[in-house]
């Protein structure tokens, strides 16, 4: 059973609030979960301290048990200094599509 720490959407239409939960990876995003660790409200300003609330003791214990955080939760943990997130880089995405296609065809020929 792979356990993940991820966001589960709550709130109403056009007014999302997310619960940070520990869940089995096979369960749906908003479905059954093991434990709730906190919440995230993206509608609040970034400097507001109530935008994100996490119980760090529970988070650390779940990480020690082998739970894998999602990309967004990993950003939160990196900002809190709990776990380091490696920077992602996709230089191909910066190249326009036509040029990428031409480069792929040139590599296939040569």
Candidates 85, 78, 53, 73; CA nearest to 3 is: 73
> Given the structure tokens 């760090």, which residue do they identify?
56
CATH code for the structural domain at 3-80: 3.30.1320.10
- What average pLDDT score do residues 39-63 get? 94
* Per-residue pLDDT at 22 exceeds 90: yes
Tell me: pLDDT of 106 over 90.
Answer: no
Look at residue 27 and tell me whether its pLDDT is greater than 80: yes
Residue 1 pLDDT more than 70? Answer: no
Location of structure tokens 């589960």: 8
Name every residue whose Cβ is closer than 8 Å to that of residue 42 and which is 6 or more positions away in sequence.
Answer: 16, 18, 51
Q: 8: pLDDT confidence band, cut at 50, 70 and 90?
A: very high
**3-state secondary structure at position 43:** coil
Q: Give the residue extent of every domain in the chain.
A: 3-80
Q: Is the pLDDT of residue 39 over 90?
A: yes
């Amino acid at each position: 059973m792979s356990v993940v720490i991820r966001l589960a959407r709550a709130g109403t239409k056009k007014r999302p609030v997310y619960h940070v939960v520990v869940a089995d990876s096979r369960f749906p995003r908003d479905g059954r979960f093991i434990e709730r660790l906190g919440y995230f409200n993206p509608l609040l300003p970034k400097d507001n301290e109530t935008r994100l609330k996490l119980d760090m003791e529970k988070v650390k214990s779940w990480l020690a048990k082998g739970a894998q955080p999602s990309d967004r939760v990993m950003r939160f943990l990196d900002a809190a200094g709990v776990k380091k997130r490696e920077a992602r880089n996709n230089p191909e995405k910066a190249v326009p599509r036509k040029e990428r296609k031409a480069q792929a065809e040139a590599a296939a020929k040569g």
